[in-house]
Amino acid sequence: MVSTLGLVPLTVLIIQGGWRGVAPSPTEEGALRAGHGEHGEPGHQEPHKDSYSTFASEFLESKYLSDDGYPFPTAPPVDPFAKIKVSDCGVTKGCIRYGKPGCDAESCDYFLSYRRIGTDVEYEMSADTDGWVAVGFSSDKKMGGDDVMGCVHDDNGRVRIHHFYNVGQWAKEIKRNPARDEEGIFENNRVTCRFKRPLYVPREETLVDLHLSWYYLFAWGPAIQGSITRHDIDNPPVSDHMISIYKYEDIFMPSTAYQTFNSPLCLLLIVALTFYLLMGTP
């Protein structure tokens, strides 16, 4: 007759302490020591840290619970937006600046940079606006039939990258968005962003190949509830020649105010007025 007394201690140990009362094999004991260092004395091993019960208890004891009591993962930490370096302009990246002479990415009316990274092109954009900033790739210097990338500041304070296609003077948003590694920030009344898009793409009307040269159209303006509205100026600036991403240029374009002041006609009028004032009237 088999005695049942020998089963009682094992059952009690299972109920009270899980499987800790069962002596591990030499292989298991070595694994425990390897996994936990010198913690615990012989005959008193730590519970298996990878067990579901241990994981569940540790997770539920944490404070990462929703209002309904369900656990949810925490968002990964977000690195602060790295400022745009203008010292690299014309050296390791191309830049276009529009505004006051000597301005940079934080003071120009509009700023754009581009550089090749493997099979991608990285763009950086910034403009003096609380709405949106965009660049268009055009076969001519006119709006219409253009591939456009825009960074839009929405009502939640976020800056998102959108893909548009110019239909005449109207920008239609396109669902197919080639942008990746998106970053954006709204700070000091400026919308600034950084993103990449592929150098080569399948031929499509709304998406151009960036390995070809294009005229660059520059625009910025206000946004309403995350949607772009008409640009700030009637005639947004356009590059005077086709831009190649294989040539890192540092281009400065004076804004309208400085164009007027520096124009030959304006200078001639200033000279004439000065001469008139010095000579006096008869």
pLDDT digits (tens, 9 = 90+) for 163-208: 999 887 788 899 889 999 999 999 999 999 999 999 988 777 889 9
Rg (CA), the chain: 32
The total number of residues shown for the chain amounts to 282
Q: 184-213: b or e for each residue (b if 16 or more CB lie within 10 Å)?
A: bbbeeebbbbbbbbbeeeeeeebbbebeee
State yes or no: pLDDT of 123 exceeds 90: yes
Instruction: Map out the domains of the chain with their CATH numbers.
Output: 94-262 (2.60.40)
Residues in a beta bridge with 98: 110, 253
* Gap between the Cα atoms of 193 and 120, Å rounded: 16
| pLDDT above 60 (res 69) | no
Instruction: Give residue for tokens 């993962």.
Output: 73
Whether the pLDDT of residue 162 is over 90: the answer is: yes
What's the pLDDT at 217? 95
Contact of 134 with 125, CB cutoff 8 Å: yes
Looking at residue 6, what DSSP letter applies? T
- pTM for the predicted model, two decimal places: 0.64
- Averaged pLDDT of the chain: 75
